[in-house]
Structure 1
Amino acid sequence: MTIAGLRQIYSAYLEAANAREFDRMTEFVHDTISFNGEIITRDEYVAAMRQAVDSVQNYFWHLDDLIIEDGRVAARLTVTGTPVKEWLGLQPTGRDVTFTECSFYQFRDGRFDHMWYVLDFPAIRKQLAA
């Protein structure tokens, strides 16, 4: 897969996630994936995405950096939203949060089958506690 092709796929994936078009994830995610080292189904992956956007009103991923090499994609995203339910073990306070997410994907046949991600949890906790 070309760099331009992976860039297009990732952009469409992010657009679908931000539009809450989770039924489109079959276009981007294999039936089973390694998610932070754990094998899960696409349905479980989508459920985790739904849980996040259900817990954080206006959850939005903004792409800051995208690096593509050898079928792998690395993305640095700024995420914003307002927690309205318990999320990541933290209670909502009515405050908005802005934090960094770094995500890494390995693609095969135009869809990803491995994903690793890290959230800036200390930034989230600090903003909700302030």
Structure 2
Amino acid sequence: MTFVQLIDCKTSRFDEMNRLMDTWAEQTKGKRAATHNVIGKDRSDATHFIEIVEFPSYEEAMRNSNLPETDKIFREMVALCDEMPTFTDLEVVRDEQMYAANIRRFYETLATEGELPPLNSLMAENYHDHDPANEQDTIGLDAMRREIDMWRGGFDFSFAVDDQIAQGDRVCTRWTWSGTHKGDFLGIPPTGRQVTMTGSTIFRCNEDGKIAEGWWQYDRLGLMSQLGALDELET
């Protein structure tokens, strides 16, 4: 689970502290685990600063703290402060930006060449999928893998994310899917045709960012037409 640390300090020597942080970043390049760092200044007190540091997990944050470079910089930082800084440790329970990023990774993973990578880091074990093209909802990660494998067996494909909106624990993505029909799909033998399809999906995410539920809408009829499955009906 994503971990955030707030460092609250007062200093009249911020320029020196800023240079110190640059030195630490250079010395720990390739070692530090922090994924995001923001420093804010109090509008009502020019000596009051709050640093927000994000890590992939608490364990990664502790590994970062145990670096010898971090210990040295901390002692030098304390010397530049007007008083002892305080630290607040936070487990992230909601991060809309993380949800959207994980869902982009999901679309990229679906189109991975070769064997489908594990989905455990992206989807919940009890994932619930709503697809109007299916007679029944797909429930469970194993069942979802089988659904994905059906599409991957029929096509080499990729997704282009056209638009994405996150609100609360839900992310809506408008996408364009492009593929080459390489294998049997719903009883249609491979045609080698280049096909495209547009659609949108709303995903609900858990607190840890994993996808827990999905609602799909896409132009499956248009896809079947491109595959020639509707030709006999039109004649």
The answer to whether 1:23 aligns with 2:132 is no
Give the Cα separation in 2 of the matches to 1:91 and 1:16. 25
Distance between the aligned counterparts of 1:82 and 1:12, measured in 2?
21
Unaligned runs of 5+ in 1: none
TM-superposed CA distance for 1:82, in Å, is 1.5
Letter in 2 for 1:28: L
Task: Give the letter aligned to residue 6 of structure 1.
Answer: Y
User: Normalization by structure 2: what TM-score?
Assistant: 0.50
Pairing 1:21-100 to 2, within 5 Å after superposition: 22-36=116-130, 38=137, 40-56=139-155, 58-100=156-198
For the pair shown, which has the larger CA radius of gyration, 1 or 2? Answer: 2
1:103 has 2:197 as partner: no
Q: Which residue identity is paired with 1:34?
A: H
How far did 1:112 drift? 1.4
What is the SS of the residue equivalent to 1:23? coil
More strand by share: 1
Give, in angstroms, the shift of residue 88 of structure 1.
3.9
In structure 1, give the amino acid aligned to 2:164: L
Matching residue of 1:118: 217
> Which consecutive aligned stretches of 4+ in structure 1 deviate over 3 angstroms post-superposition?
20-24, 88-92
TM-score, structure 1 as length reference: 0.85
Report SS of the residue matched to 1:44.
helix
Q: Deviations over 1:12-52 (max 9, x none)?
A: 22222222563331011111121117251101101111110
Partner of 2:103: 10
Q: How far off its partner does 1:91 sit? A: 4.1
How has the CA–CA distance of structure 1 residues 43 and 123 changed in structure 2, closer, same or farther, with 3 Å as cutoff? same
